[in-house]
Amino acid sequence: MTQYTYTVFDGPTSSASSKTTPKIGSQVLAENRGSEAEGVRRLTDMCSHDRSCIIDTRCFVGPVSDEENPAAHGGITETDECVICGARRAANVNGRHVELGPWGPSRAQREAEERSRREAEERARRARLERALRAVAELAPEPVTVRSRDGRVLRLELEADGRVRATGSPHREVDVRAALRVVPEFLSAARAARAAYRAAIQGDTK
């Protein structure tokens, strides 16, 4: 394990003495004042990857290193994982010939990057939803009330997502469609609002 030197102070005015001890991951993360991703990147850079295990073996998939070893091609490709930090690398093995690829991010790095990706996706989803709701609010027509010949009354209005909601007398879907046909302006505005909502949700701002 890599050794690091730190300074121990007995008091504010005492002389300092040096002492060597291995630092653990929590100490490194505590010292790091940057982002979580930067802290775990430092942990990976400090790991020597002295201990690893094979977690996957498959047929040869191609070169895994910029410094190719053609003699190692044509056999199998293994995936090695560091048992300390969880970093992974690919290795081509053909008999006694080996071609080692570079170590990738550590397990902590991968988890931090995945959290960052999910958070970014969630922020983007919320932003699209907010744009969609604003679009519907801007285009939504005023509610209308339609009365049928047999005396039934339906109130038509738009929900937040641009869908038409009908309330009032007991009705079926066919009744709502019939009611919408007698208010073409409302129907046209409702379709425009629904289309704007879908476009915003899908990220199409054209």
pLDDT band at residue 17 using 50, 70 and 90 as cut-offs? very low
Token pair for residue 154?
């339906």
- Rounded mean pLDDT, 4-16: 39
More confident residue, 155 or 5: 155
Task: Give the integer Cα–Cα distance in Å for 67 and 138.
Answer: 60
Report d(CA 194, CA 170) in Å as an integer: 25
pLDDT 10s digits, 60-70: 999 999 999 99
Query: Taking 90 as the threshold, does the pLDDT of residue 30 lie above it?
Result: no
State the pLDDT confidence band at 16, using cuts at 50, 70 and 90: very low
Q: Which residues, in sequence order, are CB contacts of 176 under 8 Å at separation 6+?
A: 154, 156, 164, 166
Instruction: Tell if the pTM clears 0.75, that is, is over it.
Output: no
* Residue 4, strand partner residues: 21
CB 44 within 8 A of CB 105: yes
Given a cut of 60, is residue 50 above it in pLDDT? yes
pLDDT band of residue 35 (cuts 50, 70, 90) is: low
| Token pair 């988890």 in the structure block, residue | 111
SS3 98: strand
Both tokens assigned to 172: 């079926």
CA distances from 58 to 9, 67, 103, 123, 158 (A): 54, 21, 18, 38, 56
Task: Calculate mean pLDDT across residues 16-34.
Answer: 46
- Give residue-wise pLDDT tens across range 158-180: 999 999 999 988 888 888 888 99
